[in-house]
Structure 1
Amino acid sequence: MSFAWARQYEPKHPFMQWMDEKLPLPRLVYNAIGAGYPVPRNLNYMWNFGVLAGFFLVVQIVTGVILAMHYAANQAVAFQTVEHIMRNVNWGWMMRYAHANGASFFFIVVYLHIFRGFFYSSYKAPREMIWLLGVVIFLLMMATAFMGYVLPWGQMSYWGAQVITGLFGAIPLVGESIQHWILGGFAPDNAALNRFFSLHFLLPFVIVGVVILHIWALHIPGSSNPTGVEVKTESDTIPFHPYYTAKDGFGLGVILIFFAMMVFFLPNMLGHPDNYIEANPLSTPAHIVPEWYFWPFYAILRAFTQDLTIPFTGVILIEAKLLGVIAMFGSILIWFILPWLDKSPVRSGHYRPTFRKFFWFGLIPAMIALFICGGAPAEEPYVMISQVATAYYFLHFLVILPIISQIEKPEPLPYSITEAVLGKDDAAPAAAKAAD
C-alpha cells in the first residue's frame, strides 16, 4: 500500500515548527491517526473493534491504578480491602465495577476483532506481523485477567488459582516444581497473592508496549479491508480523520451505552456468586469455573478424559490431564501459524464460498459450544459436546482450512476498492494499465 498521496504535515505556528524539528510528536500523531494516514474507503463497523479494544485497555489501566491505591495484597485483609473499596472509598464501587466489567468488554471486543481477522484473513501477507503481535497481546491479556481474578480473594479466586496453577503440575518431571515456584509455596497464599498483584499491575503496561508495536506494524502495509483487494490508486482511500474518527466515535458511543448499563444496573451479572464469599481453603466449591472469557479454553482442557496409551498394552504415553493442557495452550498457539496454513490467494470470506460455509456452520457453532460447555458442570452431555467441538476446532485450522485454500474456486474479485464501493468502471483497468 503506497502512501505517496498522503497529505503531509506542515506546521504553521513557529512553536509547532520548532517542536516538529526537535521532537516530532505532532507529526507522529498526524501520520498515525490524522489526515496524513490514508485508509481504504470501504471499511465497515467490523473495523471499529481495534479502537474499542484500545479504549477499554485505557479504562482498565486508569481504574486499576486507582484501585491499587486502596488494595492490600495480603491474604488476611485482601477480601476486606475490596469491601472497603466498595463501601468507604469515594466512587470506589464505580471504579471496581468499571474495572471488573471493563475486563469483560475488553475481551468481547478483542474476540470480535479476532473473528473478524479469521473471516477476512487479516493474517495473510503482508500483514503477518500485525497478526502475530495481536496473538501476543491476547496471551498477555489472558495472563493479566487470570491474575486479576485471584486478587479479590473470594472462593472462586482461591480455587481458580489452585486449579489453573495445578495445570503446570501435569508437566512430567518438572511440573510440580514449576507449580510451587509460581505460587511461592504448596498452595495459594500470601506469596502467590503478592506475585499475582505485582504482575497484574505490570502486565497492562507491557500490553501497551506491544499495542504500540501492533499499530506500528499496521501502518507499514496499511489497513486491510472487506474485499481483501489492496489499495491501487488514491481514489481507493480517504483520510482517517475525520471520516473514521467519526465512525469509531459512533461505535464507541454505542458500546458505552451497554457498558454503562452493565456498570450501573447489572454490575454482578458476569461474576460468580461464590466469589463474594471470602476464600476458604477448607471448603471446595461444588463447581469451579474461571471467568466467562476463559470458558472455551477451559472446555478444551476438560474435553480430554482418557489417557493416551499404547494399544493392547495399557502403557500410558500421555496422561489425560497433560493432553488437556497441551490442547488448551495449542488452541491459541495454533493461531501463530495461521498465515502459513491458509494458502488461498483470496483474503475476504465474502469471495470464498466454501470457506464461508465451514466458517459460519462449523467454526462458529464449535466456538459457541465450547463457550457453553466451559461454564457448565463437568458432566454429560457437556463433556461429549466439548469433545466434538474441540475435535472440530483443531480439524478446522489444521486440516479443513489448508485443504479448502487449495481446492476452492473463489468468486470474482472487484478490480479495486473504488469499484467495490461505487460500482464497476470498465475503463479503470485499461487506464491503470496505460499509466503503468
Structure 2
Amino acid sequence: MKISFRKSDSFLKPISGVVYDLPVSVNLSVWWNFGSLLGLCLGVQLVSGIFLAMHYSPGLDVAFSSVIHIVRDVNGGWLLRSIHANGASFFFICVYFHVGRGIYYGSYQMVHVWGSGVVMLFVLMGIAFMGYVLPWGQMSYWGATVITNMVTAIPYIGKDILHWLWGGYTVSNPTLVRFYVFHFLLPFILVVLVMVHIVVLHDAGSNNPLGLEGMGDKVPFHIYYSMKDVFGFSVMVGALLFVCLLSPDIFLESENFNPANPLVTPVHIQPEWYFLFAYAILRSIPNKGGGVLALVLSVAGLLLLPLLTSNCSGCLSSSMNPLNQIMFWGFVGVFLILTWIGMCPVESPFTMIGQISTFLYFLFLIVYPISVSSKVGGM
C-alpha cells in the first residue's frame, strides 16, 4: 500500500508559503545523491558556458585563437574555461554513477522515468560531442570528421544528411558555426527534459535500496535529504575546484592543444574519455553499418532493461540476489575494459578483447533483466 503524508502532520512546516511534503523512503543511501549532483553540474555548465560564449568566436581562423584569448587575456578566463571543460567530465562521472545505481537497484522498472533519462543521456552526449569540436584543435577536427561520417551508414539519405551537417563537402567553417549554435541551444532543451524527468519521477515515486513499493517508513524530503544534497554539493564543488586549480588538464587530450590541421592526421584518433566505451564498440564491428548500429544500441540498449523485465511490480531490488550482483559488477568491469580499449590502437590483441567485451556488454543488457524477472517469479 502506498503511504503518503497529510499536510496536517506535525513535521510538515510551511516555509515561504511552500510545504515540503514529498515523502521519501527513510533508507536512501548516498547513491541517491547523484540526481541532485547532476542538476548542479547542469547549472555550472550553463552558467560557465554562457560566459564563455561571450568571448568565443566560431570561425576556422579565429576559433582556436579565441580559446587562447579566453585563457590568457580575459579576467578569470582560465578558470572559467577549466571549470567548463572539466565540468563536462564531472557531469559524465555523475551520469554513469546515476545510471549504474538505477541498474543495480532496479530503478529501470519505472518505465517512464527510465525512458526520459535515456533520452536525456542521448541529448547530453550530443551536446558534449559538439562542445568537444569548438576549441578547433587537432582532435576536435578529426573527431568531428570521423563521427559525422557515421551518418553515411544511413541508407539512401546518409550522404545528404552529412553534407547538411557539414554545410558543404568537408568539415569547414559552416560546420563549426552550426555546432556552436547547437551546443548553445541544446542545453536549454535539456533543462526542459530535466523538468519532465523530475515531474515523472515525483509522480512515480523514488525507488529505494530494497526495491519495495509503498514502504511505511518515510520522511519528508526537507530537511533530511536536502541537507545531504547540500553536503554533496560541497564535495562536488570542492573536487571540481581541486582539479581546476591543481591539475586543469588531467581530463583533456594533449593533441587538442595543437591547432586543427586537415593535412596532418593524428596517430590515434579518439574522443573524450567518457565516449571511449562506445567508440570501442564502434571499432569492434568490422562492418560500418553494423558498427554505427552497435554504437547507438550501446546507449539505446538501456531501454531494453524495463522492456525485458516482466512481473516485477513491487519486487525486491535485484541487488539482493548474489548472482545479479556478480552480473552487475561484471558489467562494470566490461565497461571499464571497453573504455581502456577505446584508447588503444586497432591491433591485436586489443581488437579481440574489444570484440569479446562488446559481446558481453550486450549480453548483459539482455540477460540481466530476464534474470531479475525469473528470480522474482520463483519467489
Contact 2:318 2:372 in 1 (8 A): no
TM-score, structure 1 normalization: 0.82
Structure 1, residues 166-190: CA drift from partner, whole Å, max 9, x if none? 1112223222221111111111111
Written as runs of structure 1 = structure 2, the 5 A alignment for 1:112-127 is 112-124=97-109, 127=110
Aligned residues: 374
Rg larger in structure: 1
Q: Residues 403, 180 of structure 1: CA spacing in aligned structure 2 closer, same or farther, 3 A cutoff? A: same
SS at match of 2:108: coil
Q: Which of 24, 31, 40 is residue 39 of structure 1 equivalent to?
A: 24
Counterpart-to-counterpart distance in 2, 1:45 and 1:405: 24
SS at match of 2:213: coil
1:328 aligns to 2:295 (yes or no) = yes
Gaps of 5+ in 2: none
1:69 aligns to 2:58 (yes or no) = no
Question: Which 4+ residue blocks in structure 1 deviate beyond 6 angstroms?
Answer: 8-12, 409-412
Counterpart-to-counterpart distance in 2, 1:77 and 1:266: 27
TM-score, structure 2 normalization: 0.94
Counterpart-to-counterpart distance in 1, 2:299 and 2:104: 17
Contact 1:304 1:323 in 2 (8 A): yes
1:5 match:
6
Written as runs of structure 1 = structure 2, the 5 A alignment for 1:421-432 is none
The amino acid that maps onto 2:6 is W
Q: Residues 7, 242 of structure 1: CA spacing in aligned structure 2 closer, same or farther, 3 A cutoff? A: farther
2:162 match:
179
SS at match of 2:205: coil
Cα deviation for residue 256 of structure 1 reads: 2.3
Higher relative contact order (CA 8 A, sep 6+): 2
Contact 1:57 1:106 in 2 (8 A): yes
Counterpart-to-counterpart distance in 1, 2:61 and 2:333: 44
1:356 match:
325
The amino acid that maps onto 1:115 is G
The amino acid that maps onto 2:42 is L
1:104 match:
89
Cα deviation for residue 43 of structure 1 reads: 0.3
SS at match of 1:39: strand
Q: Which of 272, 278, 283 is residue 259 of structure 2 equivalent to?
A: 278
Counterpart-to-counterpart distance in 1, 2:7 and 2:226: 17
1:129 match:
112
Q: Residues 2, 371 of structure 1: CA spacing in aligned structure 2 closer, same or farther, 3 A cutoff? A: same
Counterpart-to-counterpart distance in 2, 1:375 and 1:256: 28
Counterpart-to-counterpart distance in 1, 2:213 and 2:55: 50
Contact 1:6 1:38 in 2 (8 A): no
SS at match of 1:123: helix
Cα deviation for residue 4 of structure 1 reads: 4.1
Q: Which of 290, 297, 301 is residue 282 of structure 2 equivalent to?
A: 301
Contact 1:341 1:397 in 2 (8 A): no
Contact 1:168 1:176 in 2 (8 A): yes
1:342 aligns to 2:304 (yes or no) = no
Counterpart-to-counterpart distance in 2, 1:175 and 1:409: 44
Counterpart-to-counterpart distance in 1, 2:47 and 2:254: 26
